[in-house]
Amino acid sequence: MNFISNRLKRLNQDVFSELESIKDEKLQKGVDIIDFGMGDPDMPPPQYVIEELCRTAKDPLNHRYPRTRGLSEFREEASRFYKKRFNVDLDPETEILPLIGAKEGLAHICTALVDVGDIVLVPDPCYPFYFAVTLLSDGEIYRMPLLEENGFVPDLSSIDEEVAKKARLMFLNYPNNPTAGTVEKAFFEDVVKFAKKYNIAVCHECIYADICFDDYEAPSFLQIQGAKDIGVEYYSLSKTYNMAGWRIGFAAGNRKIIWRLKTVKLNIDSGIFQPIQYAGISALRNDMPAIKETYQKRRDILVDGLNKMGWKVAKPKATFYVWARIPDRYCDKDFPKVLLQKLDIIVAPGIGFGEYGKDYARFSLTLKEDRIKEAIRRLEKFLIYY
């Protein structure tokens, strides 16, 4: 028997799987691989966060089932955090919902809002999970191109009116993964006008807002007047506090969407382990770890090194990614695969993030400076003969 649903059949094969297979083979042989592929922080969480987890894990009461809506203390701290960080007022009772990481929230918002055949406006390139959750919800993807000449920002005016009328949800993510594109408040103002005109819910991921460089400050979507009428924003502790494996974040914004998200979660999961929530409270209450300076140094080493070799890469103003257009002389090759086979270097192929990423590669800055310098040395030697 063929045990597979039609929903699962709709998913594309993961373009990263071949690279993973080659990587596994090489690792088994003891090869020294430099991996720029994953956006996985290499620094630990602050010590006070770990200590709070350990302290609260000793309380037997914290090992019972948590509530789906989370600890009231966590929601209140998230509300205070948003007021302090973005000057946004949020009701912790109705406008904040803890998430088992933002990824879980992305899946649940489609379940909550998208029906069979509904159109979802998805940026391309994007975090590939946007495509997956749309298809798994039997929605239809409408790609909003993120082009370099437009600063990797979608042109809302180019969306056909008939498409806009049928759209139920729009995904956005700024500062952006994978392009590292950034926006100002004016863009979000346009989004609010557009979404209100066509009655579209907006889901904005504010994951990298606190990893910004060169005096750039990322805005929150919820800072815009009227944003809470049509949208929610996800904030995660994964990147800012190096808590990727802890799986904790929260949704904030429109109370009706928050309520629908909570309804889905009540029927699917049992909430976040309470000691992790207490550790999250400790994170949000204290100063952020000094990670921006570390990523900025890594960014400069990588981008300067690539440009010295003839690449044309702008220094991103945010995120810990470098989105690099592959030089023309390499574009006719499977460049990421060649890098891994010949240099033992992994980069994320741009095509894995969407059709409009095909001429790019994404480098993650979650590597120590000496590893980035070693990668540059390998590239310098190899590209002379490539």
pLDDT tens across 325-356, in order? 998 877 655 888 889 989 999 999 999 999 99
pLDDT at 249: 98
Q: What is the pLDDT of residue 17?
A: 77
Q: Whole-model pTM?
A: 0.95
Predicted local distance difference test score (pLDDT) of residue 288: 86
Tell me how far apart the alpha carbons of residues 273 and 276 are, in angstroms, rounded to a whole number.
6
Instruction: Determine the topology of domain 8-37+290-383 in CATH.
Output: Aspartate Aminotransferase, domain 1 (3.90.1150)
Q: Is the pLDDT score of 3 beyond 60?
A: yes
CATH topology for 47-285 is: Aspartate Aminotransferase; domain 2 (3.40.640)
Query: Tokens at residue 309, please?
Result: 């070799």
Domain limits, the chain = 8-37+290-383, 47-285
DSSP state for residue 212 in the 8-state scheme? B
Beta carbons of 297 and 68 less than 8 angstroms apart = no
pLDDT at 103 over 70: yes
Alpha-carbon distance 386 to 383, whole Å?
Answer: 5
pLDDT in tens, 186-230: 999 999 999 999 999 999 999 999 999 999 999 999 999 999 999
346 Cβ partners below 8 Å, 6+ apart? 19, 23, 33, 34, 35, 36, 37, 336, 339, 340
pLDDT of residue 15 exceeding 70, the answer is: no
For the residues 291-304, what does the mean pLDDT come to? 97
